[in-house]
């Protein structure tokens, strides 16, 4: 997440993060289906879900605003910031 979805973002990096998170999700769910659940496994699944939501919201925002600078959209849109809904 720090390498691809940090303060400076790009569509390329966000897509790469999305693919890696999808792979982690698939591997973790396969492991979950064949093992005894543990607190650590639940935490990992939650971290993957949060990472997915962050990447999804970052992909929806087509502007640079606040601390998040998007290389593909270097300016902010005029007016108040819009909420990102997932």
Q: What is the pLDDT of residues 8-65, one digit of tens each?
A: 889 999 999 999 999 999 999 999 999 998 999 999 999 999 999 999 988 888 877 7
Do residues 14 and 5 touch, judged by C-beta distance below 8 A?
Answer: yes
pLDDT at position 85 over 70: no
Task: List, in order of start, the domains of the chain with CATH numbers.
Answer: 8-70 (1.20.58.100)
| Cα 69 from chain centre | 15
Label residue 69 by pLDDT band (50, 70, 90). confident
pLDDT reported for residue 7:
86
pLDDT reported for residue 54:
92
Q: Which residue has the higher pLDDT, 81 or 5?
A: 5
Report how far residue 21's alpha carbon sits from residue 12's, in angstroms, rounded to the nearest whole number.
14
């Amino acid at each position: 997440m720090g390498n691809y979805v940090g303060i400076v973002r790009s569509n390329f990096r966000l897509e790469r993060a999305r693919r890696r998170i999808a792979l982690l999700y698939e591997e973790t769910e396969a492991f979950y289906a064949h093992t005894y659940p543990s607190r650590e496994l639940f935490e990992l699944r939650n971290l993957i879900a949060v990472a997915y939501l962050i990447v999804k919201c970052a992909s929806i925002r087509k502007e640079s605003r606040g601390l998040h600078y998007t290389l593909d959209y270097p300016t902010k849109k005029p007016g108040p910031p819009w909420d990102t809904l997932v």
